[in-house]
Amino acid sequence: MNIPEEKVFSNLDNVVDELESIDLGDGNKLEDILKDLECPFTWNLDEMETSRNMIHYLDSFLSLIPDDMVEEGIEEIFTTSCFIKNITLSYFLTMNGQNVQATEIIDNLKKTCCIRFEETESEKLIPAIRHVLSATEIFIFLRSNKTIREKQNFVEDARLNMKSFSNMTNEEKACIHGMKSSVFGFFGLGGNLKALNEAKAALGLDSQEAEWWFISGKLMGRIRRIIKSDIDEEEIKMIEKAVELDNENLIYKVFLADVIREYTSAIFRKTKNQVDLNTYELEKDIDNLYQKALDLYLYCIEKLPSCIKSLSRCAIGLVKLPKKYSSKYFNIAEEAIIMSLELHPNCPYVHHIAGMIYHKKRTFQVTE
Protein backbone atom coordinates (compact mmCIF):
# COMPACT_ATOMS: atom_id res chain seq x y z
CA MET A 1 0.00 0.00 0.00
CA ASN A 2 1.29 3.44 -0.93
CA ILE A 3 0.97 5.50 2.26
CA PRO A 4 1.65 9.25 2.11
CA GLU A 5 3.03 11.13 5.08
CA GLU A 6 0.65 11.11 8.02
CA LYS A 7 -1.44 14.23 8.54
CA VAL A 8 -2.84 15.70 11.73
CA PHE A 9 -5.88 13.66 12.75
CA SER A 10 -9.20 15.47 12.94
CA ASN A 11 -11.55 15.14 15.90
CA LEU A 12 -14.54 12.81 15.88
CA ASP A 13 -16.86 15.33 17.56
CA ASN A 14 -18.47 16.12 14.20
CA VAL A 15 -18.11 12.70 12.60
CA VAL A 16 -21.21 13.30 10.47
CA ASP A 17 -23.12 16.45 9.60
CA GLU A 18 -26.56 16.85 11.17
CA LEU A 19 -25.94 13.71 13.26
CA GLU A 20 -28.87 14.24 15.57
CA SER A 21 -31.28 14.76 12.68
CA ILE A 22 -30.83 11.25 11.29
CA ASP A 23 -33.76 9.13 12.43
CA LEU A 24 -33.45 5.39 11.79
CA GLY A 25 -37.18 4.90 11.95
CA ASP A 26 -37.30 2.64 15.03
CA GLY A 27 -37.26 5.35 17.64
CA ASN A 28 -33.47 5.60 17.65
CA LYS A 29 -31.33 8.46 16.49
CA LEU A 30 -28.11 7.63 14.69
CA GLU A 31 -26.21 9.25 17.53
CA ASP A 32 -27.68 6.72 19.98
CA ILE A 33 -26.80 3.81 17.71
CA LEU A 34 -23.19 4.94 17.39
CA LYS A 35 -22.78 5.01 21.15
CA ASP A 36 -23.40 1.25 21.25
CA LEU A 37 -20.72 0.50 18.68
CA GLU A 38 -17.32 -0.85 19.71
CA CYS A 39 -14.38 -0.19 17.40
CA PRO A 40 -11.26 2.01 17.23
CA PHE A 41 -13.45 5.00 16.38
CA THR A 42 -15.16 4.81 19.78
CA TRP A 43 -12.12 3.89 21.87
CA ASN A 44 -10.73 7.45 22.18
CA LEU A 45 -7.50 6.64 20.39
CA ASP A 46 -7.06 10.33 19.66
CA GLU A 47 -6.31 10.75 23.38
CA MET A 48 -3.46 8.22 23.27
CA GLU A 49 0.12 9.48 23.23
CA THR A 50 2.61 7.91 20.86
CA SER A 51 5.83 8.94 19.15
CA ARG A 52 5.12 6.52 16.31
CA ASN A 53 3.73 7.30 12.90
CA MET A 54 1.00 4.72 13.39
CA ILE A 55 0.10 4.40 9.71
CA HIS A 56 3.70 3.64 8.80
CA TYR A 57 4.17 1.32 11.80
CA LEU A 58 1.06 -0.79 11.18
CA ASP A 59 1.44 -0.91 7.42
CA SER A 60 5.10 -1.93 7.73
CA PHE A 61 4.23 -4.74 10.12
CA LEU A 62 1.45 -6.09 7.92
CA SER A 63 3.63 -5.94 4.82
CA LEU A 64 6.04 -8.38 6.48
CA ILE A 65 3.52 -11.23 6.22
CA PRO A 66 3.72 -12.75 2.73
CA ASP A 67 0.39 -13.75 1.19
CA ASP A 68 1.55 -17.31 0.55
CA MET A 69 2.38 -17.78 4.24
CA VAL A 70 -1.10 -16.66 5.27
CA GLU A 71 -2.74 -18.86 2.66
CA GLU A 72 -0.79 -21.88 3.85
CA GLY A 73 -1.82 -21.23 7.44
CA ILE A 74 1.74 -20.74 8.67
CA GLU A 75 0.75 -17.50 10.43
CA GLU A 76 -2.65 -18.81 11.51
CA ILE A 77 -1.80 -18.43 15.19
CA PHE A 78 -1.45 -14.67 14.64
CA THR A 79 -4.73 -14.24 12.73
CA THR A 80 -6.33 -12.28 15.55
CA SER A 81 -3.30 -10.01 15.82
CA CYS A 82 -3.38 -9.30 12.09
CA PHE A 83 -7.10 -8.52 12.26
CA ILE A 84 -6.50 -6.04 15.09
CA LYS A 85 -3.67 -4.32 13.20
CA ASN A 86 -5.75 -4.06 10.03
CA ILE A 87 -8.74 -2.61 11.86
CA THR A 88 -6.55 -0.09 13.67
CA LEU A 89 -4.80 0.86 10.42
CA SER A 90 -8.19 1.47 8.78
CA TYR A 91 -9.02 3.87 11.63
CA PHE A 92 -5.84 5.91 11.22
CA LEU A 93 -6.20 6.00 7.44
CA THR A 94 -9.77 7.27 7.78
CA MET A 95 -8.75 9.94 10.28
CA ASN A 96 -6.04 10.90 7.81
CA GLY A 97 -8.62 11.39 5.06
CA GLN A 98 -7.69 8.20 3.20
CA ASN A 99 -11.14 6.62 3.11
CA VAL A 100 -10.49 4.66 -0.06
CA GLN A 101 -7.52 2.81 1.41
CA ALA A 102 -9.41 2.24 4.67
CA THR A 103 -12.38 0.81 2.79
CA GLU A 104 -10.08 -1.52 0.84
CA ILE A 105 -8.81 -2.96 4.12
CA ILE A 106 -12.35 -3.56 5.40
CA ASP A 107 -13.45 -5.15 2.13
CA ASN A 108 -10.45 -7.48 2.23
CA LEU A 109 -11.17 -8.46 5.84
CA LYS A 110 -14.78 -9.20 4.95
CA LYS A 111 -13.71 -11.46 2.10
CA THR A 112 -10.88 -13.35 3.79
CA CYS A 113 -10.41 -12.77 7.50
CA CYS A 114 -13.97 -13.55 8.60
CA ILE A 115 -13.89 -16.84 6.70
CA ARG A 116 -10.67 -17.88 8.44
CA PHE A 117 -12.10 -16.93 11.84
CA GLU A 118 -15.17 -19.06 11.21
CA GLU A 119 -12.90 -21.97 10.33
CA THR A 120 -10.30 -21.66 13.08
CA GLU A 121 -11.44 -19.48 16.00
CA SER A 122 -13.77 -20.19 18.89
CA GLU A 123 -17.45 -19.58 18.22
CA LYS A 124 -17.79 -16.81 20.83
CA LEU A 125 -15.23 -14.67 19.01
CA ILE A 126 -17.26 -14.45 15.79
CA PRO A 127 -19.96 -11.97 16.99
CA ALA A 128 -17.27 -9.68 18.42
CA ILE A 129 -15.22 -9.81 15.20
CA ARG A 130 -18.28 -9.06 13.08
CA HIS A 131 -19.36 -6.26 15.40
CA VAL A 132 -15.98 -4.48 15.35
CA LEU A 133 -15.68 -4.98 11.59
CA SER A 134 -19.17 -3.61 10.86
CA ALA A 135 -18.80 -0.75 13.38
CA THR A 136 -15.52 0.29 11.78
CA GLU A 137 -17.11 0.13 8.34
CA ILE A 138 -19.99 2.34 9.53
CA PHE A 139 -17.69 5.06 10.82
CA ILE A 140 -15.60 5.02 7.65
CA PHE A 141 -18.75 5.44 5.57
CA LEU A 142 -20.05 8.23 7.80
CA ARG A 143 -16.85 10.18 7.17
CA SER A 144 -17.38 9.98 3.43
CA ASN A 145 -19.06 12.59 1.22
CA LYS A 146 -22.24 10.57 0.87
CA THR A 147 -25.64 12.10 1.46
CA ILE A 148 -27.48 11.88 4.76
CA ARG A 149 -29.97 9.42 3.22
CA GLU A 150 -27.14 7.20 1.93
CA LYS A 151 -25.54 7.22 5.35
CA GLN A 152 -28.83 6.32 7.00
CA ASN A 153 -29.42 3.42 4.60
CA PHE A 154 -25.87 2.17 5.07
CA VAL A 155 -26.18 2.11 8.86
CA GLU A 156 -29.55 0.34 8.68
CA ASP A 157 -28.11 -2.37 6.41
CA ALA A 158 -24.94 -2.76 8.49
CA ARG A 159 -26.93 -3.21 11.70
CA LEU A 160 -28.64 -6.26 10.21
CA ASN A 161 -25.33 -8.13 10.13
CA MET A 162 -24.08 -7.32 13.62
CA LYS A 163 -24.97 -8.07 17.21
CA SER A 164 -25.14 -4.99 19.42
CA PHE A 165 -22.68 -4.83 22.28
CA SER A 166 -25.45 -4.42 24.85
CA ASN A 167 -27.03 -7.70 23.72
CA MET A 168 -23.84 -9.75 23.77
CA THR A 169 -23.11 -12.51 26.25
CA ASN A 170 -20.38 -11.97 28.84
CA GLU A 171 -18.04 -14.16 26.79
CA GLU A 172 -18.66 -12.09 23.67
CA LYS A 173 -18.20 -8.82 25.57
CA ALA A 174 -14.93 -10.21 26.91
CA CYS A 175 -13.75 -10.60 23.31
CA ILE A 176 -14.45 -6.91 22.70
CA HIS A 177 -12.41 -5.97 25.79
CA GLY A 178 -9.66 -8.28 24.56
CA MET A 179 -9.54 -6.52 21.20
CA LYS A 180 -9.47 -3.10 22.88
CA SER A 181 -6.58 -4.35 24.98
CA SER A 182 -4.65 -5.36 21.87
CA VAL A 183 -5.20 -1.95 20.26
CA PHE A 184 -4.23 0.02 23.38
CA GLY A 185 -1.04 -2.03 23.55
CA PHE A 186 0.32 -0.11 20.54
CA PHE A 187 0.54 3.12 22.56
CA GLY A 188 3.50 3.08 24.92
CA LEU A 189 3.29 2.88 28.71
CA GLY A 190 0.00 4.74 29.06
CA GLY A 191 -1.62 2.58 26.41
CA ASN A 192 -0.31 -0.62 27.94
CA LEU A 193 -1.66 0.33 31.36
CA LYS A 194 -5.09 0.82 29.77
CA ALA A 195 -4.59 -2.40 27.84
CA LEU A 196 -4.00 -4.30 31.09
CA ASN A 197 -7.23 -2.91 32.53
CA GLU A 198 -9.11 -4.08 29.44
CA ALA A 199 -7.49 -7.52 29.58
CA LYS A 200 -8.51 -7.87 33.22
CA ALA A 201 -12.03 -6.73 32.32
CA ALA A 202 -12.15 -9.54 29.76
CA LEU A 203 -10.86 -11.93 32.41
CA GLY A 204 -13.60 -10.82 34.80
CA LEU A 205 -16.25 -11.60 32.18
CA ASP A 206 -14.80 -14.92 31.03
CA SER A 207 -12.30 -16.48 33.41
CA GLN A 208 -12.25 -19.77 31.49
CA GLU A 209 -10.73 -18.22 28.38
CA ALA A 210 -6.99 -18.85 28.37
CA GLU A 211 -6.29 -15.89 26.09
CA TRP A 212 -7.34 -13.31 28.69
CA TRP A 213 -4.98 -14.81 31.28
CA PHE A 214 -2.21 -14.84 28.69
CA ILE A 215 -2.73 -11.24 27.54
CA SER A 216 -2.85 -10.03 31.15
CA GLY A 217 0.45 -11.74 31.97
CA LYS A 218 2.04 -10.60 28.72
CA LEU A 219 1.08 -6.97 29.41
CA MET A 220 2.40 -7.19 32.97
CA GLY A 221 5.74 -8.25 31.54
CA ARG A 222 5.74 -5.48 28.96
CA ILE A 223 4.93 -2.82 31.57
CA ARG A 224 7.57 -4.26 33.91
CA ARG A 225 10.24 -3.90 31.23
CA ILE A 226 9.21 -0.34 30.40
CA ILE A 227 9.33 0.88 34.00
CA LYS A 228 12.21 -1.48 34.89
CA SER A 229 10.52 -3.02 37.92
CA ASP A 230 10.99 -6.43 39.54
CA ILE A 231 9.07 -9.35 38.15
CA ASP A 232 5.87 -10.14 40.03
CA GLU A 233 4.76 -13.70 40.76
CA GLU A 234 1.28 -12.72 39.57
CA GLU A 235 2.72 -12.35 36.07
CA ILE A 236 3.96 -15.94 36.16
CA LYS A 237 0.65 -17.19 37.53
CA MET A 238 -1.23 -15.49 34.70
CA ILE A 239 0.83 -17.26 32.03
CA GLU A 240 0.74 -20.56 33.92
CA LYS A 241 -3.06 -20.35 34.11
CA ALA A 242 -3.24 -19.74 30.38
CA VAL A 243 -1.15 -22.87 29.78
CA GLU A 244 -3.32 -24.82 32.22
CA LEU A 245 -6.49 -23.82 30.35
CA ASP A 246 -5.01 -24.38 26.90
CA ASN A 247 -2.12 -26.78 27.10
CA GLU A 248 -1.99 -27.16 23.32
CA ASN A 249 -1.11 -23.50 22.73
CA LEU A 250 2.63 -23.41 22.19
CA ILE A 251 2.79 -19.61 22.12
CA TYR A 252 1.72 -19.59 25.75
CA LYS A 253 4.49 -22.06 26.55
CA VAL A 254 7.10 -19.89 24.83
CA PHE A 255 6.09 -16.94 27.00
CA LEU A 256 6.03 -19.17 30.07
CA ALA A 257 9.62 -20.20 29.35
CA ASP A 258 10.57 -16.52 29.06
CA VAL A 259 8.94 -15.45 32.31
CA ILE A 260 10.40 -18.42 34.22
CA ARG A 261 13.87 -17.59 32.90
CA GLU A 262 13.55 -13.91 33.82
CA TYR A 263 12.12 -14.71 37.27
CA THR A 264 14.88 -17.21 37.99
CA SER A 265 17.59 -14.78 36.87
CA ALA A 266 16.13 -12.16 39.21
CA ILE A 267 16.23 -14.61 42.14
CA PHE A 268 19.83 -15.52 41.34
CA ARG A 269 20.97 -11.89 41.17
CA LYS A 270 19.34 -11.09 44.50
CA THR A 271 20.72 -14.10 46.37
CA LYS A 272 24.09 -14.91 44.79
CA ASN A 273 26.03 -12.98 47.44
CA GLN A 274 23.90 -13.97 50.41
CA VAL A 275 25.08 -16.52 52.95
CA ASP A 276 22.17 -18.68 53.97
CA LEU A 277 21.70 -22.03 55.66
CA ASN A 278 19.37 -23.03 52.83
CA THR A 279 21.80 -22.19 50.04
CA TYR A 280 21.78 -25.75 48.72
CA GLU A 281 17.98 -25.86 48.50
CA LEU A 282 17.92 -22.47 46.80
CA GLU A 283 20.47 -23.56 44.22
CA LYS A 284 18.42 -26.66 43.61
CA ASP A 285 15.26 -24.58 43.08
CA ILE A 286 17.09 -22.26 40.68
CA ASP A 287 18.47 -25.22 38.76
CA ASN A 288 15.00 -26.77 38.45
CA LEU A 289 13.49 -23.50 37.18
CA TYR A 290 16.22 -22.96 34.59
CA GLN A 291 15.83 -26.56 33.47
CA LYS A 292 12.08 -26.09 33.12
CA ALA A 293 12.62 -23.02 30.92
CA LEU A 294 15.17 -24.91 28.82
CA ASP A 295 12.82 -27.86 28.34
CA LEU A 296 10.01 -25.53 27.24
CA TYR A 297 12.25 -23.76 24.71
CA LEU A 298 13.46 -27.04 23.20
CA TYR A 299 9.94 -28.46 23.05
CA CYS A 300 8.52 -25.37 21.36
CA ILE A 301 11.32 -25.17 18.80
CA GLU A 302 10.57 -28.75 17.83
CA LYS A 303 6.81 -28.22 17.63
CA LEU A 304 6.80 -24.77 15.96
CA PRO A 305 9.11 -25.23 12.97
CA SER A 306 7.28 -22.71 10.75
CA CYS A 307 6.35 -19.90 13.14
CA ILE A 308 9.13 -17.34 12.70
CA LYS A 309 8.24 -15.17 15.68
CA SER A 310 8.10 -18.08 18.11
CA LEU A 311 11.23 -19.70 16.68
CA SER A 312 13.11 -16.43 17.11
CA ARG A 313 11.78 -15.92 20.63
CA CYS A 314 12.76 -19.45 21.62
CA ALA A 315 16.20 -19.10 20.07
CA ILE A 316 17.12 -15.89 21.92
CA GLY A 317 15.50 -17.12 25.13
CA LEU A 318 17.54 -20.31 25.01
CA VAL A 319 20.88 -18.54 24.57
CA LYS A 320 20.02 -16.07 27.35
CA LEU A 321 19.99 -18.96 29.80
CA PRO A 322 23.20 -19.35 31.84
CA LYS A 323 25.96 -21.04 29.86
CA LYS A 324 25.61 -24.16 32.00
CA TYR A 325 22.19 -24.77 30.43
CA SER A 326 22.49 -23.23 26.98
CA SER A 327 25.95 -24.11 25.65
CA LYS A 328 25.02 -27.71 24.88
CA TYR A 329 22.02 -26.59 22.84
CA PHE A 330 23.41 -23.48 21.20
CA ASN A 331 23.40 -25.23 17.82
CA ILE A 332 19.64 -25.77 18.16
CA ALA A 333 19.09 -22.06 18.76
CA GLU A 334 21.31 -21.28 15.78
CA GLU A 335 19.36 -23.68 13.56
CA ALA A 336 16.09 -22.11 14.71
CA ILE A 337 17.16 -18.58 13.81
CA ILE A 338 18.57 -19.75 10.46
CA MET A 339 15.22 -21.36 9.70
CA SER A 340 13.46 -18.12 10.66
CA LEU A 341 15.71 -16.17 8.29
CA GLU A 342 15.00 -18.62 5.48
CA LEU A 343 11.25 -18.36 6.07
CA HIS A 344 11.26 -14.59 6.24
CA PRO A 345 14.54 -13.03 5.04
CA ASN A 346 13.17 -9.47 5.11
CA CYS A 347 11.91 -9.39 8.69
CA PRO A 348 13.86 -6.84 10.79
CA TYR A 349 12.86 -8.57 14.03
CA VAL A 350 14.40 -11.88 12.94
CA HIS A 351 17.60 -10.15 11.80
CA HIS A 352 17.79 -8.34 15.16
CA ILE A 353 17.47 -11.63 17.05
CA ALA A 354 20.02 -13.29 14.76
CA GLY A 355 22.51 -10.53 15.53
CA MET A 356 22.00 -10.97 19.26
CA ILE A 357 22.52 -14.72 19.00
CA TYR A 358 25.75 -14.46 17.02
CA HIS A 359 27.04 -11.81 19.42
CA LYS A 360 26.32 -14.24 22.26
CA LYS A 361 28.11 -16.99 20.34
CA ARG A 362 31.26 -14.90 20.07
CA THR A 363 31.06 -14.17 23.78
CA PHE A 364 30.90 -17.90 24.51
CA GLN A 365 33.89 -18.59 22.27
CA VAL A 366 36.01 -15.90 23.97
CA THR A 367 35.33 -17.32 27.45
CA GLU A 368 36.01 -20.93 26.52
Asked if residues 158 and 124 have their Cβ atoms less than 8 Å apart, the reply is no
The residue ranking higher by pLDDT, 274 or 355, is 355
Residues 181-213: b if buried by 16+ CB within 10 A, e if exposed: bbbbbbbeeebbebbbbbbbbbbebbeebbbbb
Residue 37: pLDDT over 70: yes
Q: What b/e sequence results for 108-145 when a residue is b if at least 16 CB atoms lie within 10 Å of its CB, and e otherwise?
A: ebeeebbebbeeebeebbbbbbbbbbbbbbbbbbbbbe
Q: Do 125 and 109 meet the contact criterion of CB atoms below 8 Å apart?
A: no
Convert the pLDDT of each residue in 279-301 to its tens digit: 667 888 899 999 999 999 999 99
Q: What residue spans define the domains of the chain?
A: 12-62+77-168, 279-367
Q: Give 49's pLDDT tier (boundaries 50, 70, 90).
A: confident
Band (pLDDT 50/70/90 cuts) for residue 23 is low
Answer whether residue 4 shows pLDDT above 70.
no
Q: Count CB atoms within 10 A of the CB of residue 326.
A: 20
- Does residue 28 have a pLDDT over 80? no
Asked if 177 and 205 count as a contact pair (C-beta separation under 8 A), the reply is: yes
**Per-residue pLDDT, 304:** 79
Q: Structure pTM?
A: 0.84
CATH 1.25.40.10 fits 12-62+77-168, yes or no: yes
Fold match between 12-62+77-168 and 279-367? yes
| Of 126, 108, 111, 134, the residue nearest 42 (C-alpha) | 134
Q: Judge whether residue 21 has pLDDT over 60.
A: no
Tell me the torsion sign for CA atoms 184, 185, 188, 190. Answer: positive
Q: What is the pLDDT of residue 171?
A: 94
157-204: per-residue pLDDT in tens?
888 878 889 899 999 999 999 999 999 999 999 999 999 999 999 999
In sequence order, the 6+-apart residues with CB closer than 8 A to the CB of 249 are 210, 214, 242, 243
* Higher per-residue confidence, 59 vs 216: 216
**Digit-coded pLDDT (tens) for 96-148:** 999 999 999 999 888 776 555 555 556 778 889 889 999 999 999 988 888 87
* Predicted pLDDT at 217: 97
pLDDT number for residue 74: 36
How do residues 218-261 score in pLDDT, each as one tens digit? 999 999 999 999 898 999 999 999 999 999 999 999 999 999 99
**Tens-digit pLDDT profile for residues 53-103:** 899 888 877 765 544 333 333 333 336 788 899 999 999 999 999 999 999
| Assigned CATH topology for domain 279-367 | 1.25.40
| Residues 40 and 131: beta-carbon distance below 8 Å | no
Rounded CA gap, 186 and 102, in Å?
19
